[in-house]
Amino acid sequence: DARVTQTPRHKVTEMGQEVTMRCQPILGHNTVFWYRQTMMQGLELLAYFRNRAPLDDSGMPKDRFSAEMPDATLATLKIQPSEPRDSAVYFCASGRGTDNSPLHFGNGTRLTVT
Amino acid sequence: AQRVTQPEKLLSVFKGAPVELKCNYSYSGSPELFWYVQYSRQRLQLLLRHISRESIKGFTADLNKGETSFHLKKPFAQEEDSAMYYCALTRGNEKLTFGTGTRLTIIP
């Protein structure tokens, strides 16, 4: 059963530190999404890639967040410098890139910035 | 702009009672609607989508374009239904817009 893999599962860091979250999409999937989950906002889309090219990152604070896909098997989400308000669960999801195909989510990275 | 509203953050229902999780959307075109579920300590997963018109784990959801709603229903709640439920909308690609979610608790 193919799954999206995210690392680390948990991350605690101090304000101002750099945080890198990694995602391995399902082999053969060509779309990758980063979502942030908070109690107040629910799931917010941060970035969206198709065939490794960024299509939409309008939901991402550009001054401190960056998302990349160095290759088809790895997507990264970086926060530099991190702030306490970044504390949330960050989910990666991948899909086949066809209409109405369901997204497959990873287990998420729970980030706590103190 | 597309938007999904789930008015209830928390919902508690007795086991065996009917369940309805509300979802309303705003979108000018023809949306595709989904329900995703996140059980405790598990990843978010697709529960059902309106185009399939199927019943999954006893849950159904009907798209009502007149009321712009896609409420999730189950006639008899079970304890294993306790989870976080998200309603989501897409314009026909994979980019999902989620609601804020409803945490459903089934009381034994």
pLDDT band at A71 (very low <50, low <70, confident <90, very high): very high
Contact at CB, A56 and B49, closer than 8 angstroms: no
Rounded CA Rg of chain A:
13
- Nearest chain B residue to A94 by CA distance is B94
User: Which residues are paired to B14 by β-bridges?
Assistant: B107
How confident is the model over A32-67, as pLDDT tens digits? 999 999 888 889 999 999 999 998 888 888 899 999
Quote the mean pLDDT of chain A. Answer: 92
Contact at CB, A45 and B94, closer than 8 angstroms: no
pLDDT band at A97 (very low <50, low <70, confident <90, very high): confident
- Give exposure, B76-104, as e/b (b: 16+ Cβ within 10 Å): ebeeebbbbbbbbbbbebbbbbbbbbbbb
Query: Does residue B84 belong to the interface with chain A, where contact is any CB pair within 8 Å?
Result: no
Q: Does the pLDDT at position B16 exceed 90?
A: yes
- Please give the Cα distance from A56 to A50 (Å, whole number): 10
A-B C-beta contacts closer than 8 Å? 56
Q: What is the mean pLDDT of residues A9-19?
A: 97
Q: Does the pLDDT at position A99 exceed 70?
A: no
How confident is the model over B42-101, as pLDDT tens digits? 899 999 988 887 888 999 998 998 999 999 999 999 999 999 999 999 876 678 889 999
Query: Does residue B100 belong to the interface with chain A, where contact is any CB pair within 8 Å?
Result: yes
Q: What is the mean pLDDT of residues B17-44?
A: 91
Query: Does residue B45 belong to the interface with chain A, where contact is any CB pair within 8 Å?
Result: yes
- Please give the Cα distance from A62 to B30 (Å, whole number): 31
How high is the pLDDT of residue B2?
Answer: 81
